[in-house]
């Protein structure tokens, strides 16, 4: 019996040591591209892209499984930066379909339950128990986590309204004449 115990313990120790060494020497470096992309993403872990957070999204972008236009809070600027990084062409036309949105608290429905601001990844909602909550527009990314958490359906996402400040001329159309 003692022989069995000693031999198995020894085997376990040797194999374990061998595995530990193998893990150290044959370590697979994490894809550095993933880290770089992760650093470019907003990092709010909002989940609007359909991935559980920014790191899984970065992996998907690096492997080519997801398009560079997947991040709504990052917008066109991010999509373009990612496209440049990966050397791919980004189809920015798709990005405008969804359009950026902002959360709005409907004052007549809010009960002041504090659930929404506890889940907000960017601390964009302020409030206190049994007090009306309010969204800070500049900090909101429109991720919709607050909408899911609200028990009284008092948080809604609304498209950002165009103002004189944000409006700019569309790209002019060139109706080229046929040169015969």
Partner 1 sequence: MKLTLFRGGVHPPGFKEQSASQGIENAPLPARLYVPLQQHLGAPAQAIVRRGQQVLKGELIGRASGPISAAVHAPTSGTVVAIGKHTAPHPSGLPIETVVIEADGNDTWCELHPCDTPFDLDPDAIAAKVGEAGIVGLGGATFPSAVKLKLKNRNPIHTLIINGGECEPYLTCDDRLMREESVAIVEGVRLMLRALEAQRALVVIEDNKPEAFAAMHAAAEAVSEVEVVQVPSLYPMGSEKQMIETVLGQEVPAGGMSSDLGVVVHNVGTAFAVHRAVRFGEPLIERITTVAGSAIVKPRNLRVRLGTPVEALFAYCGGIKGEPARLLMGGPMMGQVLPNMQVPVVKGSSGILALTAQEVNEQSTANCIRCSRCVRACPVGLVPLEMAGRIRVGDFKGAEAWGLRDCLSCASCSYVCPAHIPLVQFFNHAKGELTARAQADHKAKETRRLAEARSERMERIKAEKAAAAAARKAARAKKAAEEESAAPAGDSETSTEQKETSA
- Contacting positions for partner 1 (CB under 8 A): 41-45, 73-78, 80, 92, 121-124, 138-139, 141, 162-164, 166-172, 174-177, 179
Which residue, among 133, 136, 126, has the nearest Cα to 155 in the 3D structure? 133
Nearer to partner 1, 24 or 165 (CB): 165
Nearer to partner 1, 100 or 111 (CB): 100
Shortest Å, Cβ 74 to partner 1: 5
Shortest Å, Cβ 116 to partner 1: 14
- N-term to C-term CA, the chain: 100
What 3 state SS string does 121-169 have? CCCCEECCCCCCCEECHHHCCCCCHHHHHCCCCCEEEEECCCCCCCCCC
Nearer to partner 1, 124 or 155 (CB): 124
Secondary structure letter of residue 174 according to DSSP: -
Q: Would you say 156 and 103 are in contact if contact means Cβ atoms under 8 Å apart? A: yes
Nearer to partner 1, 25 or 163 (CB): 163
Nearer to partner 1, 29 or 89 (CB): 89
Shortest Å, Cβ 41 to partner 1: 8
Shortest Å, Cβ 85 to partner 1: 14
Shortest Å, Cβ 117 to partner 1: 11
Q: Would you say 121 and 103 are in contact if contact means Cβ atoms under 8 Å apart? A: no
Residues 173/174/177/178 CA torsion (nearest 10 deg) = -100
């Amino acid at each position: 019996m003692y022989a069995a115990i000693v031999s198995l313990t020894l085997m376990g120790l040797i194999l374990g040591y061998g595995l530990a060494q193998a893990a150290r020497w044959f370590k697979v470096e994490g894809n550095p591209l993933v880290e770089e992309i992760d650093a470019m993403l907003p990092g709010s872990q909002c989940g609007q892209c359909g991935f559980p957070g920014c790191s899984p999204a970065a992996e998907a972008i690096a492997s080519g499984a997801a398009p560079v236009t997947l991040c709504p809070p990052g917008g066109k600027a991010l999509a373009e930066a990612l496209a440049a990084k990966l050397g791919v062409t980004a189809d920015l036309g798709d990005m405008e379909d969804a359009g950026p949105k902002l959360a709005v608290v409907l004052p007549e429905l809010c009960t002041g339950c504090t659930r929404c601001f506890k889940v907000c990844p960017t601390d964009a909602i302020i409030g206190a128990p049994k007090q009306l909550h309010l969204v800070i527009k500049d900090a909101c990314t429109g991720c919709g986590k607050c909408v899911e958490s609200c028990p009284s359906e008092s948080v809604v996402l609304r498209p950002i309204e165009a103002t004189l400040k944000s409006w700019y001329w569309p790209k002019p159309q060139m109706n080229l004449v046929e040169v015969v």
